Amino acid sequence: MRILSIESSCDETAAAVVEDGRRVLSSVVASQVEEHRLYGGVVPEIASRRHAESISSVVREALLQADLTLADIDALSVTFAPGLIGALLVGVNFAKGLSLATGKPLIPVHHLRSHIAANYISHQELKPPFLCLVVSGGHSHIVMVEDYTKMRVIGATRDDAAGEAFDKAARTMGMPYPGGIELDKVAELGDDKAYTLPHPTVAGSPYDFSFSGLKTAVINLLHNAEQKGEEICKEDLCASFRRAVVDCLTTNLFKAAEDLGVKTIVAAGGVSANRLLRRELERLCAEKGYELYVPELSLCGDNAAMVGSQGYYEFLSGNIAQTDLNAVATLPIDYK
């Protein structure tokens, strides 16, 4: 079954053709990041406009690269939630139009579920159940993936998402948006024990995260140093910050795995590209005898191939959109 998929939830306009949920025939991503960088973050109105301008050509390019026409496509899938509402609407309306014009079924896909599905492309043998750490710019979740479309949220962030925390800390250190990627690179050169930063926990909720205090600690540290005229070693601060975030993520994840008796760990979302997180997951999984799956780097960030993969499993479970499908800005991953 060949699915033409569309993603426009944030600042990437993407389309792909995926066969049977696992084989990527084409994947096109048009990033707007250069433009948003001027403003230090994603400007929703600009994102919507750019999606509207590029979606036709991105979809055409995906078909072209797969050497297929619409006649060869069996179904369409689109990210409908969660995300920037104006951005999502562009993809949803385009996909609805295509579905109406061609008579092909339209499959609604939850953005975070698709991040998890990136792993089905990178690892053909991977099947639920498994415990997944979903870490992106907008979300940080520990999710028990019971089946392809059946999930249970075990833990979540109470404030900032991990990616958001990386981006905000990077911004205070003068790095351009999205700073998480740059912070990760600079951290490779630093000593992660040089600065003492808090490792926040949420009282009574061992699987939940809280990153806003960590971000504030970095801001305070920088202000204090400035007032005292002290030099800050950027490499060391990046390394110490990254260590604190990764320790929080892995501590809760492995506690959940132990408590639930799960032996397969999966990571997903933009932050799963983080070098230290990948190394620590590998080290801890090897130590505990767990199996580990992380997406290949090209599938960690937003793309449409993962929407085609999850779309296939949503289709198999009977999740087909009606003509009244709408975009939804916030929606839990375990929605019914």
Binding positions for ligand KG4, rule: CB under 6 A:
10, 115, 136-138, 163, 166-167, 178, 180-181, 184, 269-271, 273-274, 301-302
* E strands present in the chain: 2-7, 12-19, 23-31, 75-81, 106-110, 130-135, 140-147, 150-156, 264-268, 291-293
Residues in the chain: 336
Nearer to ligand KG4, 104 or 111 (CB): 111
Site string for Zn ion, 284-303 (x = CB under 5 A): ------------------x-
CA end-to-end span of the chain: 24
* Residue 263: CB minimum distance to ligand KG4, A: 26
Q: Which does 178 bind (CB under 5 to 8 A by kind): ligand KG4, Zn ion, none?
A: ligand KG4
Picked from ligand KG4, Zn ion, none, the partner binding residue 128 (CB below 5 to 8 A depending on kind) is none
Residues 106-145 that bind Zn ion (CB under 5 A): 136
Q: Which residues pair with 151 in a beta bridge?
A: 145
The site for Zn ion, by CB under 5 A, has a size of 2
Report the residue number, 26 or 274, with the smaller CB distance to ligand KG4: 274
11 near Zn ion (CB under 5 A): no
Rounded to an integer, what distance in angstroms lies between the CA atom of residue 113 and that of residue 150?
Answer: 10
Separation of alpha carbons 334 and 101, rounded Å: 31
CB of 303 to ligand KG4, least distance (A): 9
Which token pair is 231? 């030099």
State in angstroms the smallest separation of the CB of 73 from ligand KG4.
25
Nearer to ligand KG4, 97 or 174 (CB): 174
107 CA to centre of own chain: 20
The residue nearest ligand KG4 at its CB is 270
Task: Provide CB contacts within 8 A for 170, sequence distance 6+.
Answer: 178, 179, 180, 182, 183, 238
Residue number with CB closer to ligand KG4 (184 or 208)? 184
Q: Are the CB atoms for 28 and 304 separated by under 8 Å? A: yes
Question: Judged by CB under 5 A, does residue 182 bind Zn ion?
Answer: no
**Nearer of residues 269 and 308 to ligand KG4, judged by Cβ:** 269
Measured distance CA(137)–CA(121) in Å, rounded? 22
User: Going residue by residue from 301 to 320, which x/- string records binding to Zn ion, judged by CB under 5 A?
Assistant: -x------------------
- Closer Cβ to ligand KG4, 52 or 135, answer by number: 135
Contact 17, 74 (CB under 8 A): no
Residue 192 or 314: the one with the smaller Cβ distance to Zn ion is: 314
Place of tokens 């948003």: 36
CB 207, CB 256: distance < 8 Å: yes
User: By the criterion CB under 5 A, which residues form the site for Zn ion?
Assistant: 136, 302
